[in-house]
Amino acid sequence: MKIIPYRKRSVLIATIFAISAVGITGCSDNTETKAVERVEEAAALARVKDLEARAEALKSNMPAANDMTATAGGTDTASGKPTIKMPDESTIPDDEFGAAVRRGLQISNHTYKELPNNVGNQLNCTSCHLGNGSEAYAAPWNNTPSVYPNYSKRTGRINTIQERINGCFERSLNGKALDLNSDDMNAMVSYMSWLSQDMPFGVSPEGSGFVKVDKTLEPNTDNGKKLFAEKCSVCHGATGEGQYNDDGTYVYPAIAGDKSFNDGAGMARTYTAASFIKGKMPFGQGGSLSDQEAVDIASYFTHLPRPIKANKDKDWPNGDAPKDVRR
């Protein structure tokens, strides 16, 4: 049996009553009465048409039940997802949690200075997670804690957010894992949680991860080398060594060599790096490169000399490794 939605039922009932009234007035033999009733009939029909027009307007403005473009819970994007936005730092509470949030922010922006025993290169978390870890399409952390634990194909098991953070320490930072229960680990999770305030639980915001590139494109490393010299070397150096201040802090981070991420990092994969390049590079000119140009540059610089990740042969234990994984 077909169920008629509530709004349509209301319009249908009104229509039936109006038509019933028309039918009743048509039964009178009194000429004067008929004239009055014809006026009433016209008014009733006009009301029916008005109701039908309103119903149509409601129907056209009402999203379908499975339409994810509908906004709810404070979302305001075409996808129906929450947007990436760094909360105002004035909202950090003046208590123990707030102190942990501030420590997490400090670690994120000055990782190798703050945690020299855990970082084996001269990069920070925000070398890749731009804008304090809160920039759209630069792998932002907004709402990340609420989507963990989740399954990781690379490890072949369920990972917690703490384990995912340690994956970056061991790969992108070419270092050692933090103690899962340490104050510094808790500070990083606290900061990510603060970034996630007012977001719906378990929903990845619009702008999570990186922009998409065509992974069917075959890289042209020779063209990538040429483009790297033209568009990347002015900041990152001729061999990707980066530019550093006398105190060891970088002006532009190393993307190759001993100061950079190892070959087990996600950024050492051609198409992952190409996605980051496409959306954010050259710095301040994101979106200016084609997919092919981004893939070519990524193929060139990701294969420049860099640290080797120990035990990366244990990654992707179920044999589902992407084609650009380093072996």
Residues placed in the known binding site:
125, 128-129, 232, 235-236
Q: How far apart are CA 36 and CA 39, in angstroms?
A: 5
What gap in Å lies between CA 320 and CA 298, rounded to an integer?
A: 22
At 234, the amino acid letter reads V
How many Å apart are CA 253 and CA 236, to the nearest integer?
A: 7
Q: In degrees, to the nearest 5, what angle opens at C-alpha 109 toward C-alphas 108 and 111? A: 65
From the list 217, 174, 233, 239, the residue with the least C-alpha distance to 324 is 217
Annotated binding residues for heme c, written as ranges, equal 125, 128-129, 232, 235-236
Helix axes 161-170, 183-195, angle to 10 degrees: 110
DSSP strand pairing (157-159 vs 250-252) = unpaired
Is the Cα torsion angle 232, 238, 239, 240 positive or negative in sign?
A: negative
Q: Which residues contact 269 (CB under 8 A, 6 or more apart)?
A: 302, 322, 324, 325, 326
Residue ranges with strand state E in 133-225? 150-152, 157-159
